[in-house]
Amino acid sequence: MPDGGDGILAPVGAQVVWGDPDPLWAVGDWRPDEIRVVEAQPGSRLAVFGCCGASDDELRLGLIAARGGAFRHLTAWPGSYTAVACVGRRLTVAADLAGVRPVFHTPWARGTAYATAALPLADLVEAELDFGHLAALLACPDAPEALGDGTPYRGVSRVPPGHALIVRDGGSREIAGYESSTSLVVGAPPVDPEAAVAGVRDALVNAVRARLTAPRHASEHDTDARDPGPVPGMGPADRQRARGGPAPGIGADLSGGPASGTLALLAAGLPGTPGTVFGSGAAGAGERLLAVTFNDLTTGTGAAHRGGPHDPADAEDHTAELERAHAIAQNPRLRHLVVTGGEETLPYADLTAGPLTDEPGPSLVAAERHRSRLTAGSADHFVGAGARQVLDAHPARLADLLLDRRRRHLVRPVAALARAEGQRGESQVAGRSLLVPVTIYRAARRLARTPYREGVEQTAALMRDGGFTASAFEPCPDGGESAVDASVAALTWCRPGPAARWLTGEALAEVSLRLESAAQARPSVERPGERRARAALARSAADHRVLEQAAELRNQRLHAPYFDNQVVRAARELPDALRVRPGARASILRAALAGAGVHDVPSGWGAPTQAAHHAALRAGIRLASERLLELFQAPLLAEAGLVEARVVRQAVRRVARGEPLPAEGIADLAAMELWLSRLLARRGTCWTGAAAPRHRAAAAGVHPDARYERSLPPTPR
């Protein structure tokens, strides 16, 4: 590929890392310390993009190991980064374990082009939209069998998490895994729970330390215009927005939950100066870490005071969460900032603004909500995303315990579900709680006895069944009304997503073919719980990547240490018996804090915090129903044959009225529609030069003649 040095071909806004014969560019707003290049011998070089806690000597050792084929060493350093190793004419690019830093590739000019974003490659080969992949994203977002290695663009493929792309002589390519998978037949040796928890603690501490030891950064406005001090009617967050961006230094979310609270306390408690740059911002002394709490006034007590719809239980949980955040903020090395948000910060509040992201994701509908919080944050800001998927036990892991003949370990989680069912306060539910142990055990045993191929084919047959779409407006069985219903629904090899019930029969048939093809091509040797947990992690990481792009602020970096390779790798060593215990995530994070010298945590540490998210989704649909109906008046999704506009509008009206339908399905559909409209409305491409492609990706739009190209996804790995 030409290196763009003479204006032939280059990405827009690129800087050359190294040139021919296998050029490498860095595109975008990179800090100087986020691009590191080392050489071990002539012809061997390694480039690392992102936050990496390894020294230059450690990078050289990793490059030497990669020369012999041990490229797993390129993923074993603390931090979140992408490593590109060049040994002669052999290039190795490793994707991360979670999927938050993916790698894409496509054939081009008798060779292979690769990137960490799919849209530039789609522009390079003038790719059209892959509507089969878009249908799979809506119908089975958690199923790797349906998604395969594809992307929304035809011909552009994704390197699966835990794999690396190896390109030889600029042409032949190979996808190789660098993580060993647990066999279904041969049981793994028992793992000491204390040693496993200690491994998670060390990995998490090193992940936070890697960010603390990185150079501090301040944006331009921090040197040109200082905070003028108190202004009538303006709080610190308002003054910060008026100055134009995030505060310098390091900050963290502090929602009151254990995930964000652990990161804030670790960052504040580790040696060094955790907070803002000395002498800048409102902190002055620069010794305290900025902790940001978002107080949603539309839910909980705020809604009650204004007479809006509210659930007393949600109000109590919301108040308790804020109290935990205030208790954590009593740490003398934290500077607490509470950001309030009203109806203008609900999901769907602003459907017109927002950048074009690389791929669609449900975070698009709530990007403005997150941006209102992140604007008050710091230049380097910790977020607790991914903790639930990395540390918690997916309900399907109960089947893994049955496969290992460890039935006694089901007692605690089943008893916790029975207590939760009995505390709902309804007489019929109280009686139903007695049946919870039998219900959960039967579902787990059925999953343990169902072969992988049969389980996936059952989901494919369900999607082709006419009764599936006929029951599109029946009450959602796992819509958050009951933890037992949600757990039973999750005890499957594969299941439809919340938006699947509103797709057309043609779209569902396309997805069912993908499922059957993947199940027949390569049967899985993983345990059901392990496979479902990996898929849920990949889904969460992909959505976080979309959020990073949709809510991006200039001069700000979001850090999600729970997605780091070393944290994910250490968490996978946790035994299933420890994971399924009630409160396992909270106890693991408490142990991580204890290892860093923090022993006091507020009461209620680890209480569930997902109710506020679901309540905000429903409140946003209720208030923005007219705008959503206008969005789906003549949607691009209907033109592509994925949905019927009439059906989606009916779903929006019913959810706005409060009917028990999956609000998450509306978020998936709205996000996909927004992404398609922004993609087709853009001008220009990602490339410049005389040899740049004349047409951009998806130039044909969603023309019906180009809807379904019968191409099955690559075999999932």
Topology of the domain covering 10-180+683-688: Glutamine Phosphoribosylpyrophosphate, subunit 1, domain 1 (3.60.20)
Cβ–Cβ < 8 Å for 335, 283 = yes
Q: Is 233 a residue whose pLDDT tops 60?
A: no
Of the pLDDT bands very low, low, confident and very high (cuts 50, 70, 90), residue 600 is confident
The distance between the two most distant Cα atoms of the chain, rounded to a whole number of Å, is 77
- DSSP structure string for 18-53: E-TTS-EEEES---GGGEEEEEEETTEEEEEEEEE-
Report the 10 Å Cβ neighbour count for 459: 24
In the three-class reduction of DSSP (H, G, I as helix; E, B as strand; rest coil), residue 318 is classed as helix
> Could you tell me the pLDDT band of residue 254, with boundaries at 50, 70 and 90?
very high
Q: Is residue 243 helix, strand or coil?
A: helix
pLDDT of residue 240: 55
> pTM here?
0.91
- Classify residue 431 by burial, with Cβ atoms within 10 Å: 0-12, 13-18, 19+: exposed
The CB density around residue 188, as the number of other CB atoms within 10 Å, is 11
Classify residue 526 as left (phi > 0), alpha (psi -120 to 50) or beta: beta
Q: What is the mean pLDDT of residues 643-656?
A: 95
DSSP one-letter string for 435-447: GHHHHHHHHHHHH
Looking at residue 286, its pLDDT comes to: 47
Dist CA 669 CA 66 (whole Å): 43
What span, in angstroms and rounded, lies between the C-alpha atoms of 111 and 115?
A: 14
Q: Provide the mean pLDDT of the chain.
A: 84
Structure tokens at 182: 């647990």
Residue 623: the pLDDT is 94
Fold agreement (10-180+683-688, 193-213+247-390+537-598): no
Q: What is the pLDDT of residue 367?
A: 93
CA 29/CA 18 separation, integer angstroms: 18
CA distances, 135 to each of 152, 268, 514, 646 (Å): 10, 44, 11, 18
The per-residue pLDDT for 169 is: 83
Phi and psi, residue 331, nearest 5° = -55, 130
Lookup: tokens for 574: 């946790």
CA atoms of 368 and 374, how far apart (whole Å): 10
| Helix, strand, coil shares, percent, the chain, to 5 | 45, 15, 40
Residue of 465, 506, 472 whose CA lies nearest to 642: 506
pLDDT tens profile 658-692:
998 999 999 999 999 999 999 999 988 899 887 77
Is residue 81 pLDDT above 80, yes or no?
Answer: yes
* pLDDT over 50 (residue 292): yes
Distance between CA 657 and CA 182 in Å, rounded?
47
Mean pLDDT on 65-81: 92
Query: Alpha helices of 257-309 — where are they, by DSSP H?
Result: 258-269, 301-305
Cα–Cα nearest to 547, from 326, 333, 357, 345: 357
pLDDT over 90 percentage in the chain: 54
Q: Higher pLDDT residue, 339 or 313?
A: 339
pLDDT for 599 equals: 83
Indicate the length of the chain as a whole number: 717
Gap between the Cα atoms of 632 and 654, Å rounded: 14
Query: How many C-alpha atoms does 225 have within 13 Å on its Cβ side?
Result: 10
Comparing 711 with 131, the larger pLDDT belongs to: 131
Token pair for 490 = 């999750």
Percent of the chain with pLDDT over 70: 84
Task: Identify the top-confidence range among 3-17, 175-189, 433-447, 631-645.
Answer: 631-645
| 170 pLDDT above the threshold of 80 | no
Query: Are 147 and 133 contacting, i.e. CB atoms less than 8 angstroms apart?
Result: yes
Alpha carbons 116 and 619: distance in angstroms, whole number: 36
pLDDT at residue 158, rounded to an integer = 97
What one-character-per-residue DSSP string does 163-176 give? EEEEEETTTEEEEE
Mean pLDDT of 190-204: 90
H or E element in which residue 181 lies: none
Q: How confident is the model at residue 648 (pLDDT cuts 50, 70, 90)?
A: very high
Give the number of C-alpha atoms closer than 13 A to the C-alpha of residue 226, restricted to the C-beta side: 10
Residue pair 254/324 in contact by the 8 Å Cβ criterion: no
Q: Is 248:281 a contact under the CB 8 Å cutoff? A: yes
pLDDT band at 236 (very low <50, low <70, confident <90, very high): low
pLDDT at 183: 47
User: What pLDDT does 318 receive?
Assistant: 81
DSSP per position, 83-100? EEEEETTEEEEE--SSSS
Spell out the residues 6+ positions from residue 114 whose beta carbon is closer than 8 angstroms to its own. Answer: 91, 93, 103, 104, 105, 106, 121, 165, 167
> Cα 90 from chain centroid?
31
Confidence bin at 424 (pLDDT 50/70/90): low
Say how far apart CA 515 and CA 530 lie, in whole Å. 19
Please state the domain extents for the chain: 10-180+683-688, 193-213+247-390+537-598
- Given a cut of 50, whether residue 478 has pLDDT beyond it is no
| Exposure of 338 in the CB half-sphere (CA atoms within 13 A) | 12
Distances in whole angstroms, Cα of residue 239 to Cα of each of 95, 217, 228, 229, 233: 40, 20, 8, 8, 10
Residue 454, both tokens: 């049969």
Three-state secondary structure call for residue 349: coil
CA atoms 363, 366, 368, 374: torsion sign: negative
Helix or strand run (H / E) with residue 356: none
Identify whether 21 is preceded by a cis peptide bond (ω within 30 of 0): yes
CATH 3.40.50.2300 is the classification of domain 193-213+247-390+537-598: no
Asked if the model's pLDDT at residue 481 lies above 70, the reply is no
Is beta strand 557-559 parallel, antiparallel or unpaired with respect to 172-177? Answer: unpaired
Q: How many CB atoms are closer than 10 A to CB 427? A: 7
Confidence of residue 695 (pLDDT cuts 50, 70, 90): confident
What is the pLDDT averaged over residues 208-231?
Answer: 68
